[in-house]
Amino acid sequence: MTKQIVLKSRPVGVPTLKNFETKTVELSAIANGEVRLVAHTVSVDPYMRGRMSDAKSYVAPYSVGEAIAGGVVARVVESKSDSLKVGDYVMGMLPWQEEMVVPAAGLQVVDGNIAPLSYYLGVLGMPGLTAYFGLLDIGKPKAGETVVVSGAAGAVGMVVGQIAKIQGCRVVGIAGDDAKVNYLLNEMHFDAVINYKTTTNLDAALAEACPTGVDVYFDNVGGEISDSVVAQINKGARIIICGQISLYNETSVPMGPRIQPTILKRSALMQGFIVSNYAERFPEGFKALASWVTAGKLKYAQTTLKGFDKLPEAFIGLFEGKNTGKLLVEM
Amino acid sequence: MTKQIVLKSRPVGVPTLKNFETKTVELSAIANGEVRLVAHTVSVDPYMRGRMSDAKSYVAPYSVGEAIAGGVVARVVESKSDSLKVGDYVMGMLPWQEEMVVPAAGLQVVDGNIAPLSYYLGVLGMPGLTAYFGLLDIGKPKAGETVVVSGAAGAVGMVVGQIAKIQGCRVVGIAGDDAKVNYLLNEMHFDAVINYKTTTNLDAALAEACPTGVDVYFDNVGGEISDSVVAQINKGARIIICGQISLYNETSVPMGPRIQPTILKRSALMQGFIVSNYAERFPEGFKALASWVTAGKLKYAQTTLKGFDKLPEAFIGLFEGKNTGKLLVEM
């Protein structure tokens, strides 16, 4: 018997604890090619909000009554697979479940000697790869250009900013509290960081932080923050649409200023993406990220809650901007 | 002495005849390297509306009190240039003036034997090159894909649709009256054309015309028409922002549904451009367009008004959707 957390009902607007339910389920017997895992660290990510709705999106929705699934690092405690042995740590898209029996295929062995295990859910996992491919492949930042990133203190944003610094860019972050602002300035060496919640005039603050305009905008947030940034893009700017967390809990179609006239006048590019578009190039991205981490050029922050039962609370916290860096739940 | 048409005042909202004024001016003496020209055919184009405002845009604004300038085909009547002789026809960005003295440099000799002279302001000129580079370089349509073009009966739109047909695509046009719809269906062999003014449900009409969704959207119009199209784009769709004629006369910031969530969910690309971005490749584009025209694969429609004094009226007519194909004024 083991505990799992299921989607009890689809959230309308901001998710609440009532949308989740903890169940006790029986583990199936382990078959050939399968392993039994004990969860070690579980990731909560903004994109999961989309999977809780049944609207058409880029990933299939969760089913009501079934376990939530996402990135999990786990330890192998029993193996009927030639490729995995007891004691190995693996990462995969797995259910929110304390213990589980799953096929070994599709699991990635992770090495705690290269970096903390939790990094495989963050800077060396999906968030890091998202930052790497979105910024470099779509944004194509050139040394001396100005890169603005929203959600700058998030799991993706802080990697984006640091990679942009490595490329020789001026990096301007937008975040939601002063502790995050100071962290990004002092620990991650952003050139400027704006607290969008306390600034009285975001347009003016951006203009001051970007004296030569915005060449690349890596957008994790959307909404009014993006209105400000898009209004200040330069000719030939690239806008990477990675997330729109400010809009995920909207219950009606969000309205705003039309951006096509600006896209036209500035000959700008806007591109949406999901990291799995780059699956074939993950080894390249992992290698680069790991080399920057081990060289000390790429730092990473995490906010960790303790205990399986904290998962729903952790997930909801994403939308309150509580996390600096990757938000995780450790068992 | 010769007549010229100047911008008397900057239009607020829809331009009116009162924004223009006809003046009589003295011709300067012809210097070495210069030619004297008599205007033959003058182009009116939607982008000129932007130049009548003093807002920052991709082309410098016209000055109040000075001649409007745009694409003009003219005949050389006197030459102090080695490169041009009396009787040559040339095309250039020239003032709205019946007769003018200008430097020969910057003028392009045009050949009435390849195509009617007016084509150098249309299918073989800026509008044709705009369609060619926007569709092929940004849109990258593949055979079997569905291409939607707004402003389909305009100078650019009708070329876009026909090039997309040449590429083996399903082509769906959006236009504003039944004569245009029939013309595009019968003469230019579009697969479907929607009259957005008479359809009761544009979303449903588009869904019917695009049973496998929209892969490429070439947007000349913007506004609510684009809201409908963008909602039906496929994963990996490309949206080319070429014009936004429905918004050019707005006096406040146009509002609409935010499109970034759709761009994200569909991993779509949106790119604004101006044809001069492709100046180095104009010979390639001209060659392709001319070969399609002479092979009878690319037809072209024009609406021609007669008489220099008709220029302001012709320009204003662009925003009333009166023209099928290129709108021109012949002297």
Domain chopping of chain B, boundaries: 2-122+301-330, 126-276
pLDDT in the model for residue B323: 85
Using the predicted structure, report yes or no on whether residue A157 has a pLDDT greater than 70. Answer: yes
Residue contact A223–B57, C-beta within 8 A: no
Please name the member of A58, A247, A257 whose beta carbon is closest to the beta carbon of B253: A257
Q: Is B223 on the interface with A (CB under 8 A)?
A: yes
pLDDT digits (tens), chain B, 331 positions: 999 999 999 999 999 999 999 999 999 999 999 999 999 999 999 999 989 998 766 678 999 999 999 999 999 999 999 999 999 999 999 999 999 999 999 899 999 998 999 999 999 999 999 999 999 999 999 999 999 999 999 999 999 999 999 999 999 999 999 999 999 999 999 999 999 999 999 999 999 999 999 999 999 999 999 999 999 999 999 999 999 999 988 888 999 999 999 999 999 999 999 999 999 999 999 999 999 999 999 999 999 999 999 999 999 999 988 888 999 999 9
Using the predicted structure, report yes or no on whether residue A55 has a pLDDT greater than 80. Answer: no
Give residue-wise pLDDT tens across range A240-249: 999 999 998 8
- Give me A85's structure tokens: 């042995």
Report the candidate in A132, A136, A146, A157 with the shortest Cα–Cα distance to residue A300: A157
pLDDT in the model for residue B56: 65
Strand, coil or helix: what is A322? coil
Q: Taking a C-beta distance cutoff of 8 angstroms, is the pair A51, A11 a contact?
A: no
Give residue-wise pLDDT tens across range A75-96: 999 999 999 999 999 999 999 9
Residue contact A264–B271, C-beta within 8 A: no
Share of chain A above pLDDT 90, in %: 92
Using the predicted structure, report yes or no on whether residue A186 has a pLDDT greater than 90. Answer: yes
Q: Is B207 on the interface with A (CB under 8 A)?
A: no
Rounded to an integer, the average pLDDT of A188-214 is 97
Selecting from 3.90.180.10, 3.30.2130.30, 3.40.50.10090, 3.30.70.330, what CATH number does the domain B2-122+301-330 have?
Answer: 3.90.180.10
Closest approach of B243 to chain A, Cα-based (Å): 7
pLDDT in the model for residue B114: 86
Domains B2-122+301-330 and B126-276 share a fold: no
> Rounded CA gap, A283 and A83, in Å?
19
Q: Which helix (H) or strand (E) holds A192?
A: strand A192-195
Residue contact B265–A56, C-beta within 8 A: yes
Neighbours of B195 (CB within 10 A): 18
Strand, coil or helix: what is B206? helix
Give residue-wise pLDDT tens across range A219-240: 999 999 999 999 999 999 999 9
Helix axes of A282-294 and A126-133: crossing angle, nearest 10 degrees: 100
Please, what sign has the CA dihedral across residues A236, B58, B267, A252? positive
Selecting from 1.10.1370.30, 3.40.50.1980, 3.40.50.720, 3.40.50.300, what CATH number does the domain B126-276 have?
Answer: 3.40.50.720
ipTM of the complex: 0.93
Q: Taking a C-beta distance cutoff of 8 angstroms, is the pair B233, B263 a contact?
A: no
Amino acid at A144: G
Rounded to an integer, the average pLDDT of A307-316 is 96
Give residue-wise pLDDT tens across range A204-218: 999 999 999 999 999
pLDDT in the model for residue A58: 64
Least confident of A51-60, A181-190, B260-269: A51-60
Count helices and strands in chain A by DSSP H and E runs: 9, 16
